[in-house]
Amino acid sequence: MNPYSKLPAQAYWRTGVARHAGTGKLLPKLWSPTIPLSTDDGFLTVGSCFAQHIGKALHHAGLNRMLVEKAPAMLPEKMREQFGYGVFSFRAGNVYTASMLLQWLQWMVDPSRMDREIWVDGDECFDPVRPSIEPGGFESPDDLFAARDATLSAMRQGIEQGSVFIFTLGLTETWRNAQTGLVYASCPGTQAGDFDPDRHQFTNARFATILNELEQIRDLLHAVNPKMRMILTVSPVPLTATAVPGAHVLVSTVKSKSILRAVAGEMADLHDDVDYFPSYELVSHPALSLPMFEADRREVTAEGVAFVMRHFLAGLGVDDASAGPPRPDDDADALARADIALAEGDAICDEVELDKYNEN
């Protein structure tokens, strides 16, 4: 007898991975949540563009995916996602980095800390922390900050009422204001604003920095709701472009995702109210022998997304019996409803806009 004697099947590569390669079927016991979860939990979702798929899967499986910030009734339904409604639990837009999420939560707890920088283009105003949520920009600074206040209020409400906060980490590369410290959603001058090399600073966050930011995020969540639990995931979507001088985007992608994966795992190891879900591994590991990416080798296929989300829902114990009542127009089981929803449309991804600057 030794520590490797009589381990369960998932502990060995041959029976845990190789046996299932190319089948597209669930890897048994891939994810067994280490935090208490139930189908009655209120799930909040935020993060990179891949995080949008988690929210859709939860909703269409009949679980309580909380949409705290609702679109105005006057806004046509087909336009709501364009304006950032229903994409995540709050109208925060894509939150690619831990530093960006931390900034939002710090403003939520203490609005007096909120930075007042805006980007002006003619008569329109753009929000530097979510420049794409208002197509064409806001009409005035007052409108911009009123909208931001509404999101901060919804964020607090959701955290007070929810029970599980799901955050998908996407990037380590970040742009910020070197003078004020404001963290931008994207590089100024790409989606909106004007780039100033003396004022706009590029940083590529390291392991220790991100771990510290996640610790602060957890503390702020608990300051509002001491019972809040966290699930961390890492987006498998490669970088569109890297701003690291002289770097190849493939190398920057692997470095970035490796750091994020390691940090997420460390947080889960350190705290019994934090868990890690392996979406990154399911998409990126070649041993599964599945076609996970579209022809651009970046966008995850609808089948790949559904494969990941079936593992997520299976970990929550979702099946025909626990998914809740079917929707009136659909008597399919919960997993089938999730698959259909995930195939209906692509995620809204701000970072992909960087490729329009590719002149090669």
CA distances from 317 to 31, 40, 226, 277 (A): 11, 12, 25, 14
- Residue 348 vs residue 162, higher pLDDT: 162
pLDDT over 50 (residue 99): yes
Q: Are 118 and 144 in contact (CB under 8 A)?
A: yes
What percent of the chain is predicted at pLDDT more than 70? 89
Q: What is the pLDDT of residues 175-206, one digit of tens each?
A: 999 999 999 999 999 999 999 999 999 999 99
Q: Dig out the tokens for 124 from the structure.
A: 């329109």
Confidence of residue 327 (pLDDT cuts 50, 70, 90): very low
State the first-to-last Cα distance of the chain, in angstroms, to the nearest integer.
Answer: 59
User: Tell me, what amino acid is at 201?
Assistant: Q
pLDDT at 318: 84
pLDDT value at residue 352: 65
Neighbours of 274 (CB within 10 A): 21
Q: Which of 305, 202, 188 is nearest to 247 (CA)?
A: 202
pLDDT tens digits, 278-291: 999 999 999 999 99
- Give mean pLDDT, residues 96-123: 96
Helix (H, G, I), strand (E, B) or coil at 261: helix
CA-based torsion, 72, 64, 309, 231: positive or negative:
positive
**Residue 248 has what pLDDT?**
98
Structure tokens at 267: 């947080």
Amino acid at position 22, single letter: G
> CB count, 10 Å around CB of 135?
9
Average confidence (pLDDT) over 269-273: 98
In 3D space, the residue among 310, 332, 280, 321 whose CA is nearest the CA of residue 23 turns out to be 310
pLDDT class of 109 with cuts at 50, 70, 90: very high
Would you say 124 and 139 are in contact if contact means Cβ atoms under 8 Å apart? yes
Which whole number is the average pLDDT over 311-316?
93
Q: What is the pLDDT of residue 331?
A: 35
Q: Average pLDDT for residues 240-267, to the nearest whole number?
A: 98
**273, 35 Cβ separation under 8 angstroms:** yes
> How many beta carbons lie within 10 A of that of residue 319, not counting itself?
13
Backbone angles phi, psi at 47, to 5 degrees: 145, -155
Contact status, residue 191 vs residue 353, Cβ threshold 8 Å: yes
Q: What is the pLDDT of residue 342?
A: 43
User: What per-residue confidence (pLDDT) applies to 333?
Assistant: 53
